Amino acid sequence: MSNHQDVIRRLQRANDSKIVLLVADGLGGLPKEPGGKTELETAKTPNLDKLTKRGVCGLSHPVFPGIAPGSGPGHLGLFGYDPLKYEIGRGVLEALGIDFDLGPNDVAIRGNFCTVDESGVITDRRAGRIASDIGAKLCEKLDKIELPGVEVFVKPVKEYRLVIVLRGAGLGGNIPDTDPQKTGVPPHDPKAADSDSEKTADLLRQFVAKAKEVLKDDAPANMFTMRGIDKKPPVPTFEEVYGTRAAAIAVYPMYRGLARLVGMDVLDAGQTLDDQMERLKASWDDHDFFFVHFKYTDSTGEDGNFDAKVEKTEQVDGCIPAIEALGPDVIVVTGDHSTPSKMKSHSWHPVPTLLAAENCRFDAVDTFGEANCLAGGLGQFEAKYLMPMAMAHAGRLEKFGA
């Protein structure tokens, strides 16, 4: 049975159009109290509001209604891949994001340095967001741990994040996260979810035991949790599915890894949104599709900082003129999921989405926010259908059927 990507492959039509997908990570939010405004609705967003007048708005469900997604499924949906079909561990994405040469039989793990007390209970899930140079030194220490029958690689990612890779024969990747997603409890023990992963789970238990000794004097980063334990799956490339030359302009390694997983060209993005806009301009003639990622609307939401998320949202608004100046045929602005500061976590709430193009069927939305998007012309839809809509508005799809 064909899925929507099979149909898109058949309908591809090449032209000179340009598409920009601007992802403000965790964009969606909630008001502080009933009747109030969300972070996006509170922010001053004159450029996005102006863009709504030549576009169409709606709300996207990253997976399907009621499901709070991780960043991996959220972005795969935006790229038009069914996140239920392509379940990919975050460890794989982080490893690819730091350019680690991940083999098909390697098991990759995303790690978070954390703080534990004398009884092993987590008191800070992110170790106070330690600086990247501190995380790198801790990874150097952990990288010296040896396990029987496998190679072990421990690499820094950014701040409190790290990647652990096991390389050897007979390893499975079906092991649930050890991160309990809350403080006041110890990390879970690594436990295999199937017989093929028993060896891996045993090796990880050995690794954790040795790491406790290595990190015992390194508070606040005196332990770590493990997430997204997995092996790299086969995935069709973005160009195969959509026929476009795609580029990713993302700063954080995981999102660079997501782009690399689907075969996008991952470009040097600098460190700031201004750097990203300069890279977009410099690369404009070399690609048809541009994925631009901004992280901090998510991290401020996870920190529970409403005002900071408002400020970061306004920064996103500030880059819209630079994108418009390049003359893209389609601009899409959305998020991979909602991260309400009220909840301090990813949530299941649908995500505000704006698509601007010359041949839009315009709606009555004149300001970009959750309540207005609820009444927008795109309605509510699964995120995996956003790419077909962008392709259609760019004139890149032939008619289906006679």
Cis bond leading into 180, ω under 30°? no
Q: CA 94 to CA 78: how far, in whole Å? A: 18
Per residue in 157-172, pLDDT (tens digit) is: 989 999 999 999 999 9
Residue 219 in tokens: 């508070």
Beta-sheet pairing, 151-158 with 55-61: unpaired
Locate the DSSP E strands across 94-201: 107-116, 122-124, 151-158, 161-167
Average pLDDT value for residue range 13-30: 97
pLDDT, the chain, mean: 96
Distance between terminal CA atoms of the chain? Answer: 20
Could you tell me where the DSSP H helices lie in 235-290?
238-242, 253-261, 273-282
Three-state DSSP string of 23-80: EECCEECCCCCCCCCCHHHHCCCHHHHHHHCCEEEEEEECCCCCCCCCHHHHHHHHCC
Task: Look up residue 43 and give its amino acid.
Answer: A
Q: CA 12 to CA 383: how far, in whole Å? A: 20
Residue 2: band (very low, low, confident or very high) from pLDDT cuts 50, 70, 90: low
Tell me what pLDDT residue 254 has: 85
Write the CB contacts of 305 (distance below 8 Å, at least 6 apart in sequence): 341
Single pTM value for the model: 0.85
Sign of CA dihedral 39, 88, 188, 206: negative
Per residue in 185-229, pLDDT (tens digit) is: 999 999 999 999 999 999 999 999 999 999 999 999 999 999 999
Phi, psi dihedral angles at 303 (to 5 degrees): -80, -5
Residue 148 in tokens: 């029987």
Determine the CATH number of domain 14-88+235-393: 3.40.720.10
Q: CB of 220 within 8 A of CB of 128?
A: yes
Residue 221 in tokens: 């980063």
- What residue spans in the chain does CATH classification 3.40.720.10 cover? 14-88+235-393
Q: Is the pLDDT of residue 327 over 60?
A: yes
Q: Is the pLDDT of residue 283 over 70?
A: yes
